[in-house]
Amino acid sequence: MNINTLCIHGSEDKSHCTGSVSVPIYQTATYVHPAVGQSTGYDYSRVQNPTREQLEITLAKLENGVDAMAFSSGMAAVTAMMELFKIGDHIIASDDLYGGTHRLFCSISEKNGISFDFVNTSEASKIAEHIRPETKAIFIETPTNPLMKVSDIAAISAIAKQHGLFLIVDNTFLTPYFQNPIDLGADIVVHSGTKYLAGHNDTLAGFLVTRTAEISEKLRYIYKTTGACLAPFDSWLVMRGIKTLAVRMEKQQENAIRLANWLCQHPKVRSVYYVGLPTHPDFEVSLKQSRGFGAMISFKVDSEQTAIQLLQRVKLVLYAESLGGVESLITYPMLQTHADIPKEEREAKGIDETLLRLSVGLEHIDDIIADLEQALA
């Protein structure tokens, strides 16, 4: 089934005879047992809920995985995933990560006895240099947040398999519409469902999608035990969002390509980070492993004063955290998404006072450009 069709029809609940086109919201915490030792298949909503189950079936289909688990947020999903590891384990991770993931790894996971090496995973050859006997996994974002580096998933998968490591890929920016990491060798795919999957800035959600039943069984046990499952109403909201994922991603990408090219010509813009530009150093890798480039752009302006002026003057583009919704959002990573990373470390990565991150929405592109033009004047 074509992915455009799957987005619309992947969540149809045919187990009931009401004829409802929309999957019902099963707003219940518990379920009646038919008799002693018997179950309807649902016992307690922390373990499974029919609404959430349909969403998980859809995500597994979209990512070509065997299973998907829906969590209360993207960070809840990553936190549960980290329970696969134990004291003494070592993980290699992309050195340009979403600030919340970096914070979790450095303030929670390290406290729990797990160590990390942060590596530029867009250079796959550097990964092997950091593998040691206690290494258990490679965790990558591609494209990364906020500098839009692209990692070669298939090449890294070959390294992971050679050394018996899990490969975990955060696919939030491109979504399964543009990229399928499991097809390229990933073992676990992570999503912040809050972003493009839900698509309307109205709910939080997170997902883990697995390549094998063995990994799924381990994560389902952790999921049931730790309990950060997605509520029925939020599951319904994400399902509703996914129905328009294909058309949203196509239009937002179209806007992003035009906006990235406009930014490249602006006299106050010094650098533009967008994987859809042929000048991007990882452009060829993107062409090889993805069906599109997405709608996330980061750019540097000529001064801190210009950055602050832009944030204070925008009217249509909203100065807010998050991304992936129908509204265009602009973020100041050094103060928002990456504020908890030490200043020297952050600036060494290029996340400084002049860097802005833009999630391009569905407004008319001429209006987006006009707003940024007046804000940069």
Give per-residue pLDDT as tens, 29-42: 999 999 999 999 99
Full DSSP string of 144-199: -TTT-----HHHHHHHHHHTT-EEEEE-TTTHHHH--GGGGT-SEEEEETTTTTT-
Residue 14 has what pLDDT?
Answer: 66
Same domain membership, residue 337 and residue 317: yes
- Which residues are marked as active site? 46, 98, 170, 195
- Calculate mean pLDDT across residues 163-192: 98
Query: In the structure encoding, which two tokens stand for residue 190, read together?
Result: 């992570």
Is 244 exposed, middle or buried (CB count within 10 Å of its CB: 0-12, 13-18, 19+)?
middle
> Would you say residue 16 has pLDDT above 70?
no
Same domain membership, residue 303 and residue 238: no
Q: Does residue 227 contact residue 157 with C-beta atoms inside 8 Å? A: no
Q: Does residue 142 contact residue 150 with C-beta atoms inside 8 Å? A: yes
Residue 300 has what pLDDT?
Answer: 98
| Least confident stretch, 176-190, 257-271, 330-344 | 330-344
Residue 369 has what pLDDT?
Answer: 98
Higher confidence at residue 85 or residue 341?
85
Residue 264 has what pLDDT?
Answer: 98
Q: Where residue 9 sits, what CATH number does that domain have?
A: 3.40.640.10
Of 227, 300, 224, 237, the closest CA to residue 269 belongs to: 300
| Least confident stretch, 36-40, 192-196, 311-315, 338-342 | 338-342
Would you place residue 342 in the very low, low, confident or very high pLDDT band (cuts 50, 70, 90)?
confident
Same domain membership, residue 326 and residue 255: yes
Instruction: Count the domains in the chain.
Output: 2
> How far are the Cα atoms of 195, 297, 373 from residue 359, in angstroms, in the given order?
10, 7, 16
Same domain membership, residue 105 and residue 252: no
Domain boundary pick from 225, 242, 259: 242
Percent of the chain at pLDDT > 70 equals 99
Same domain membership, residue 137 and residue 285: no
Same domain membership, residue 238 and residue 192: yes
Would you place residue 141 in the very low, low, confident or very high pLDDT band (cuts 50, 70, 90)?
very high
pTM for this structure?
0.96
> Would you say residue 110 has pLDDT above 80?
yes
Residue 188 has what pLDDT?
Answer: 99
Q: Which helix or strand (DSSP H or E) is residue 301 part of?
A: strand 296-301
Would you place residue 15 in the very low, low, confident or very high pLDDT band (cuts 50, 70, 90)?
low
Higher confidence at residue 342 or residue 78?
78
Query: In the structure encoding, which two tokens stand for residue 317, read together?
Result: 């583009």
- Calculate mean pLDDT across residues 7-36: 87
Residue 12 has what pLDDT?
Answer: 75
Domain boundary pick from 242, 258, 276: 242
Of 305, 280, 302, the closest CA to residue 293 belongs to: 280
Phi, psi of 227 (to 5 degrees): 85, 15
| Least confident stretch, 74-88, 152-166, 328-342 | 328-342
> How far are the Cα atoms of 13, 72, 229 from residue 7, in angstroms, in the given order?
14, 21, 22
Same domain membership, residue 269 and residue 297: yes
Q: Which tens digits make up the pLDDT trace of 300-322?
A: 999 999 999 999 999 999 999 99
Cis, peptide link before residue 342, omega less than 30° from 0: no
CA dihedral of 290, 296, 300, 304, whole degrees rounded to 10? -160
Same domain membership, residue 293 and residue 196: no
Same domain membership, residue 227 and residue 144: yes
Same domain membership, residue 257 and residue 216: no
Domain boundary pick from 242, 259, 274: 242
Helix axes 213-226 and 74-81, enclosed angle (nearest 10): 110
Same domain membership, residue 306 and residue 237: no
**DSSP assignment, residue 208?**
E
Q: Where residue 260 sits, what CATH number does that domain have?
A: 3.90.1150.10
Domain of 288, in residue numbers: 246-376
> Would you say residue 238 has pLDDT above 90?
yes
> Would you say residue 337 has pLDDT above 90?
no
Residue 130 has what pLDDT?
Answer: 97
Average pLDDT across the chain, whole number: 96
Residue 343 has what pLDDT?
Answer: 84
Residue 344 has what pLDDT?
Answer: 85
Same domain membership, residue 251 and residue 235: no
